[in-house]
Structure 1
């Protein structure tokens, strides 16, 4: 009988230990962007890096509408890590779309790369200036993304009322390409790294040309939005693009909730820089990933991430 009792106790301990091991697994959801953009494939690679190298962690990338949608998901506890363009600054500080509703849970984890604002127009259209978009059919990005906010800023800067003067389409990257192919839209705004698939595809197919953003408009936008910067897309960046394109850019980051465990945030940050070549293999834009980029981040760093940047000497240690 004693032997039976001992066997039962031992079995119970094994079951309990197995249950504890299962419970110790941490699940991490990464909010990225629409399929066809840069965020999603890079996010999937980050998920693999973290899952393979951080003990007891299972990370997954989810396709989303982009930055605005990602911030919503994090606010609802449905994403622990998100890709975010410069809209993160407005969100944290309660500006613009987030007026009187600051998203103070946001913390920066890692600086990524600048994203260019691409304004595409249908090949053969008579659109020559931003003002010519008036009365046209324009895609302004997926529902929940921040592309529509950027597009609206551009419209206002040139005196266009998007609610009255534009037929708006909320199309993601892949859907905009298809709409150009079917002649359903006249123009589209796309925000992403130079070389983004949703611009490579329609230029390769000969469906679109580019529209410049004049210097005066860029200066106006930069003056009202601290995280914008002038940018020129070099000639030859896309097939058929034989001259430079004047536009502006918005930097992006990985962001996390301030409640994320500090030790985990430190490890996530460290592993990304340690395995940068895997990210560059997915997108050449990730070659811009650099610890020194942390100086340009405009919201507080997560304490765990800050520990990493202090450790490697990029930031001074707090006393």
Structure 2
């Protein structure tokens, strides 16, 4: 209530100064679920929220202001990431959120941990960027294969997260399960702390590189990343088709001086089918404006990978429909026939 009151007071002053046109605008809030503060979803979600916002009284795009949706105040909210976000969007607790493609597929179709609990109202706004799966080890440690994680203390990401769903499926191929490993359900920052303190042997985390918490770990205690064998990559891709072969280049984290073969899943911006078509159309348009481009390019290293040209990559294969408002924009932009 305090935040709303403060915004309202500032807005009222702006409306008085801006005249009749601004007075006619109505403020509309738009919540975007992201992830933990130490990952990539949170800063990227914040950039997107900034790009699509244009509160009442703000300068119009044509006058040099932000090219967001007039009257819209978008807010990035820290959450437990993919699985939390798709649940909240389906239930109307948030208007949009970021999700990995695998979680999105499972949730929409009621598969895996979403068996009997499908989320049929999920709709895609845009593909954002690839999220590389990091298997983090303490400095100097190594694995011959994923089978070596049996009997180890392993961070498998947060409970119900898209990463956890995929990791458990991948590890099962090597007969590594909760029955024969000491699993920990932690977020990225917590897992990095446990690795640094010697309380974990390894942990998984999927995110766009570079990841802030891993940069800190690399700079303080040091770390290694498991370099997946061709057989491991092929098996993971077969078991979870939305994880595709990828490489984390040497030097992405200064202490990791070798290329890391791994798998990656696309990060998606998702909304609810019941959100107004015109609003989603305007939001999608604002995401690809010139001011949004500058915010993405300068706000986070992964922002440069978020482009209009790749906005529909992988969407058809996930089997989750585009929101009609987003579809209308992409059709007008020539990306859809």
Instruction: Give the TM-score of the pair, scaled to structure 2.
Output: 0.83
Tell me the residue number matched to 1:296: 314
Cα displacement string for residues 95-132 of structure 1 (whole angstroms, at most 9, x for unaligned residues): 22223332110100011011100001112446443222
What secondary structure, in the 3-state scheme, does the structure 1 residue paired with 2:200 have? coil
1:224 maps to 239
**What RMSD in Å do the two structures reach over aligned CA positions?**
2.0
Gaps of 5+ in 2: 1-22, 55-67
Matches within 5 A, 1:232-243: 232-243=247-258
Runs of 4 or more consecutive aligned structure 1 residues displaced over 3 Å after TM superposition: 21-24, 124-128
CA contact 1:158–1:217 (8 Å) conserved in 2 = no
CA distance in 2, matches of 1:85, 1:181: 27
Q: Judge which range, 270-279 or 113-122, deviates more.
A: 270-279
- Matched residue, 1:114: 130
Runs (5+) with no aligned partner, structure 1: 1-20
Question: Distance between the aligned counterparts of 2:327 and 2:130, measured in 1?
Answer: 21
* CA gap 1:311/1:234 in 2 versus in 1, 3 angstroms: same
Deviates more, 1:214-223 or 1:263-272: 214-223
Structure 1 CA distance for aligned equivalents of residues 48 and 142 of structure 2: 42
Q: Structure 2 matches for 1:23-172, cutoff 5 A?
A: 24-52=26-54, 53-86=68-101, 87-125=103-141, 127-161=143-177, 163-172=178-187
- Contact 2:149–2:181 (CA under 8 A) maintained in structure 1: yes
Deviates more, 1:255-264 or 1:194-203: 194-203
Cα–Cα, structure 1 residues 25 and 243, in superposed 2: closer, same or farther, change >3 Å?
A: same
SS of the residue corresponding to residue 183 of structure 2 reads: strand
Given the superposition, is the C-alpha separation of residues 304 and 136 from structure 1 closer, same or farther in structure 2, using an over 3 Å criterion? same
Secondary structure of the corresponding residue to residue 70 of structure 2 = coil
Deviation at 1:173? 1.7
Residue 293 (structure 2) aligns with: 276
Residue in structure 2 matched with residue 3 of structure 1 by the alignment: none
Match of 1:184 among 199, 208, 213: 199
CA contact (8 A) 2:169 2:240 kept: no
Question: Residues 66 and 144 of structure 1 are in contact (CA less than 8 Å); yes or no, is this contact kept in structure 2?
Answer: no
* Alignment partners' CA distance in 2, 1:224 and 1:136: 22
Which digits, 9 at most, give the CA deviation of each residue in 1:227-284, with x for residues without a partner? 2211121222211212211110101110000001011101111111111220221212
Q: 1:149 to 1:256 in 2, by over 3 A?
A: same
| Rg larger for | 1
Distance 2:98 2:136 in 1: 23
Count of aligned pairs between the two proteins: 296
Would you say the 8 A contact 2:139–2:221 is kept in 1?
yes
